Amino acid sequence: MNCATQKKVALVTGSAGFIGYHISRKLLDEGWRVVGLDCMSDYYEVSLKERRESILLKSDYYRSVHAKVEEPGLLIKLFKEEMPEVVIHLAAQAGVRYSIENPRAYLESNIVGTFELLEAARAYPPKHMLLASTSSAYGANKEMPYKETDKSDHQLSFYAATKKSTENMAHSYAHLFNMPITMFRFFTVYGPWGRPDMAMFKFTKAILAGEKIDVYNHGNMSRDFTYIDDLVLGIRLLIDSAVPSDQETVGSVRNENKSPVAPFRVVNIGNSRPEKLLDFINAIEIATGHEAKINWMPIQPGDVPATWADTSLLADLTNFTPKTDLAVGVKKFVDWYTKFHKVM
């Protein structure tokens, strides 16, 4: 048996995406073999995904597969070939606002794609599956910080509705087939190699170019901004915290919200600290040395004015709490952005 077959195998969907790239690098650095699945969609610049993937491909232990998760039979074939020990499912059509324009893309990628994944895992069960959800699942909830045990029945966008649907689908499979599944809800992730459609990227680009930025709800917004390295470490530590299938263990961890009928739970990953949008913009101004020109706008359909994560469950499960200071994280992004785009 060669060294490659002795390595632990992880399947990462959406591996050329922002978060997928970073978690794939983390696992490769730790000696895993990573099978990366990504359709390289043109939702944003494919060249950025290609640059991320080119770095992953420098490892002999990274396998790249270009295909859609919703392609019938693709995942079951991949599971049979690779028999992944761990699955990290990040592939999804992202973006709250785009879900208003093109809801079918969300139906196909998020719901049908997750169904294909669950069916493949049913046939070839991994030890642990970690599926990405979103803080948007909390929807119209106004009590903060958001706790995993809060009711989340009133999503405000179709994107959020599809992600909450994947949580329900995953729970049913965890119950029916005794599949250990962790859903993680992450909160406004930012950092190097981030998505161009996210505020961090858009604001930095516009501010450096002397262009106006659109600031919604007239700036009366706050977000629990989570630095990418904190998110990735949280995911990595959760890999080793597979949900026990023994129903007697319910409640063994403080604040545990494990399902009473399945090896399934939901975990928040956030910075546990809401930041005002205007403070976020000010941090970019300081990091770039440029003043923002602002176009004040009303709140957009499907958006929420604030998010804030209770991360006590993550801390109990992993002994880790994200804590990167916003100014530090923003500077790291701006440093990457200016170097990558050769500006300033």
Residues serving a catalytic function are: 159
Identify the helix (H) or strand (E) that includes residue 212: strand 212-215
**Reduced to 3 states, what is the DSSP secondary structure of residue 130?**
strand
Number of H helices, E strands in the chain: 13, 13
For 302, half-sphere exposure in the C-beta direction (CA atoms, 13 angstrom radius) is 15
Contact (CB, 8 A) for 231 and 147: no
- Which positions ≥6 away from 145 have C-beta within 8 Å? 224, 272, 308, 309, 310
Q: Is 26 exposed, middle or buried (0-12, 13-18, 19+ CB in 10 A)?
A: middle
In single-letter form, the type of residue at position 89 comes to H
Q: For 133-156, b where at least 16 C-beta lie within 10 A, e where not — what string?
A: bbbbbbbebeebbbbbebebeebb
Q: DSSP strand E in 106-242: where?
A: 128-134, 181-186, 189-190, 212-215, 222-223, 226-227
> At residue 163, what are phi and psi to the nearest 5 degrees?
-70, -40
Tokens of residue 275, six digits:
């930041």
Q: Is the dihedral of CA 110, 111, 115, 118 positive or negative?
A: positive
- The closest of 236, 234, 117 to 179, measured between CA atoms, is 117
Count of CB atoms within 10 A of residue 116's CB? 19
Q: How far apart are CA 91 and CA 98, in angstroms?
A: 16
